[in-house]
Structure 1
Amino acid sequence: MSNQDANPEELVCREGDGQAIEILTPREVPLGGLRAKKVRRTLPQRDRSFIGAWCFADHYGPDDIEHGNAMALGQHPHTGLQTVSWLFSGRIDHADSAGFTQTVLPGQVNLMTAGKGISHSEFSDTSHGDFTLWGAQLWVALPNHARFTEPTLVHYEPPAVTGDGWTAKVFIGSLLGSSSPVPTHTPLLGAEIVLAAGGEIEIDVDPEFEHGLLVDHGVIEADGCEVKAAELAFIPVGRTTIRIASTDGARLLVLGGTPFGESIVMWWNFVARTHDEIVQYRAEWQDQITKGGQIVPESRAMRPGRFGIVPTATEPPIPAPEMPKNVRLKERR
């Protein structure tokens, strides 16, 4: 189901119009601790940090959460990014320090803007009888002019667009005549496409965009290049169309955007511009959640600070990992 190699190889196809399509394979990582939910991470990679402003892509499921592998992320911080939650199955309850609470269901998007700083929690919910959790968690890096914006949350359920052998839902940007009202700070695209067996679609795309095709299940052919389940195909700028087909049927996410053009430093849940900013953010989070060097037993006992406090939270906040010793974090471009 996934490639557990900590250093996955990057493959290159040279089909279609001759522009290289890179196939990025995932690595399996624990989400929130060694005994926590496992996810397949395809972005960032050693040689690929961005697709547009998309800087992080986790893909998970289908998971039977009645018998373990649930999502249980207690209060934790973010800076300098937007998180995008998209589900294929299941239910996630979101709460944050800006005062927003929102349940996410399949076919709905939650976009949380962390900006200058926010804390939030995410828990899978089986109260409605759906015990299969399946979806993607994506991050967008905020450009320099917007990275200290006020935190907020936007929720949206896009309409389905259908054609011969395919269905699409556009949750960010515009594609196939459908446009999303979800605000972003750089030009972006995010859409789900489902292909029936033998289905094929040719999408008109912005030639100034980079694109990524993240295959959830099935196998697709993208401009002559085979992309398997859990792989991400990177398509560089310059194309005006992308042809996608599947013999047995498939589901995928289409991500895109103009090249980000800025360097970032990304560590744990923080996106910043320098190593020293990361050190500062970590110190501020640890100061909020500890008293006498110990984690506070309840989130309501946290100190106020940059990241705020989730008003409905009762679980202990998640402490930050230790910073790497004698190493300065490197910039990504």
Structure 2
Amino acid sequence: MSNLERDPDATWSATAVAPARRPEIIEAREVPLGGPRAMTVHRTLPSRERTLIGAWCFIDHYGPSPVSETGGMVVPPHPHTGLQTVSWLFSGEIEHRDSVGSHAFVRPGELNLMTAGRGISHSEMSTPASDALHGVQLWVALPSESRSVEPFFETTPSVLAEIDDALVRVFIGSLAGASTEVTTFTELVAAEITLPAAGSVELPLRPEFEHGVLVDAGPVTVSGVEAARTELVFLGQGAESVRLSAGPEPVRVVLIGGVPLGEQILMWWNFVGRSHDEVVDYRSEWQREAGFDASPAAGAAWRRFGDTDHHYEGTPLPAPELPGVRLKPRAR
């Protein structure tokens, strides 16, 4: 999924984070994904409070959105650099195409993981099989030594585990005795966890990780702190477990976590880079390769973002205008 904001903030992050003494609530902001019948997402990362949880740098939570009302998901070809996109659905179906030739369908219970590396472009469309779309789109920042890898795409089923009253679907890393084998470049975990009404679970955590708990259905009490639907609960390093307790309604959350990235990143629009000049170059290359800028450039025969056609009936997504000042760190 693309960040479709027309005036995206620059996000600069350093990951030296002190351990949290108590879970912190991060409230979502609503972001329409463009068009007269825009599907609205709830974004909790990046936020004013926090820009990274481990290497996780972006969380969009959407739905359930009736396709008949919103028009579904229609995201034209658009670029990414320096990150991995993680697509996870609760309901619906999305068709994915990308510039390395991948053609796949995102379905509930299956992980779709796209590694942008030095650069990739892709498109996403909800299919006629979708009455409603409901899920999350997550991004992971790649560390410096891996951020220029060749792009690739993979899909894999999640792994189920039961612990206490919870059903756990692990789709990245290991949790509750369940593990998956997918390509990551820092240590990560991600899982969907459901609880029945009045149910509870105590999940072991790796204390060297930072963690986040995104609430899809609730409310839910997270280690003594009550969180409502769309809110994200941040758990700093040092937590050896997390207790989730449901009230009178069933609960569904997505747990993410990872070791702190340990370096600075600059994120603007769909690019993760390290400097203002680097992001400017990414934007210029995309505008040229997508046909919005016909000016010649050295090495133009090489295409960072590959084939931008994707069998899409329409034009690729143009990059927003850059701000009139150099991209700088944002106050936290």
TM over 0.5, yes or no?
Answer: yes
* Secondary structure of 1:282 counterpart: helix
2:244 counterpart of 1:262: no
Specify the code of the residue in structure 2 equivalent to 1:255: I
Q: Which runs of 5+ in 1 are unaligned?
A: 1-5, 8-16, 295-302
Alignment: residue pair count: 310
| 1:106-185 correspondence to structure 2 within 5 Å | 106-126=108-128, 128=129, 130-185=130-185
2:314 counterpart of 1:315: yes
* Secondary structure of 2:288 counterpart: helix
* Secondary structure of 1:208 counterpart: coil
* Secondary structure of 1:144 counterpart: coil
Q: Deviations over 1:215-254 (max 9, x none)?
A: 0011111111101100000000001111111012210000
Q: CA deviation at 1:35?
A: 5.2
* Secondary structure of 2:185 counterpart: coil
Specify the code of the residue in structure 2 equivalent to 1:27: R
Q: 1-side partners of 2:199 and 2:269: how far apart?
A: 39
Question: Relative to structure 1, is the Cα distance of residues 260 and 292 closer, same or farther in structure 2, using a 3 angstrom cutoff?
Answer: closer
Structure 2 length as normaliser, TM-score? 0.88
Q: 2-side partners of 1:293 and 1:329: how far apart?
A: 29
Q: CA deviation at 1:31?
A: 2.1
Structure-1 residue corresponding to 2:289: 288
* Secondary structure of 1:146 counterpart: coil
* Secondary structure of 2:278 counterpart: helix
Q: CA deviation at 1:32?
A: 4.4
Structure-1 residue corresponding to 2:62: 60
Question: Relative to structure 1, is the Cα distance of residues 194 and 274 closer, same or farther in structure 2, using a 3 angstrom cutoff?
Answer: same
| 1:175-324 correspondence to structure 2 within 5 Å | 175-247=175-247, 248-290=249-291, 305-310=303-308, 311-324=310-323
CA RMSD of aligned residues (A): 2.3
* Secondary structure of 1:312 counterpart: coil
More deviation in 65-74 or 89-98?
A: 65-74
Identity fraction in percent = 48
Question: Relative to structure 1, is the Cα distance of residues 61 and 319 closer, same or farther in structure 2, using a 3 angstrom cutoff?
Answer: same
Question: Relative to structure 1, is the Cα distance of residues 255 and 34 closer, same or farther in structure 2, using a 3 angstrom cutoff?
Answer: farther
Q: CA deviation at 1:290?
A: 2.1
Q: 2-side partners of 1:279 and 1:292: how far apart?
A: 14
Q: 2-side partners of 1:314 and 1:307: how far apart?
A: 18
Specify the code of the residue in structure 2 equivalent to 1:307: F
2:81 counterpart of 1:82: no
Q: CA deviation at 1:159?
A: 2.8
Structure number with higher relative contact order (C-alpha < 8 Å, ≥ 6 residues apart): 2
Q: 2-side partners of 1:141 and 1:18: how far apart?
A: 22
Structure-2 residue corresponding to 1:10: none
Q: Deviations over 1:61-101 (max 9, x none)?
A: 00001222411000000000000000000000000001111
The question of whether the paired residues in 1 share the 8 Å contact of 2:38 and 2:70 is answered with: no
Structure-2 residue corresponding to 1:38: 40
The question of whether the paired residues in 2 share the 8 Å contact of 1:263 and 1:332 is answered with: no
Q: Deviations over 1:175-219 (max 9, x none)?
A: 000001011000001000000011111011101000000000111
Structure-2 residue corresponding to 1:300: none
The question of whether the paired residues in 1 share the 8 Å contact of 2:220 and 2:251 is answered with: yes
Structure 1 length as normaliser, TM-score? 0.88
Specify the code of the residue in structure 2 equivalent to 1:261: G
* Secondary structure of 1:140 counterpart: strand
Question: Relative to structure 1, is the Cα distance of residues 72 and 131 closer, same or farther in structure 2, using a 3 angstrom cutoff?
Answer: same
Q: CA deviation at 1:307?
A: 0.2
Specify the code of the residue in structure 2 equivalent to 1:45: S
Specify the code of the residue in structure 1 equivalent to 2:209: F
Question: Relative to structure 1, is the Cα distance of residues 281 and 223 closer, same or farther in structure 2, using a 3 angstrom cutoff?
Answer: same
Q: Which runs of 5+ in 2 are unaligned?
A: 1-7, 10-18, 296-300
Q: 1-side partners of 2:148 and 2:38: how far apart?
A: 31
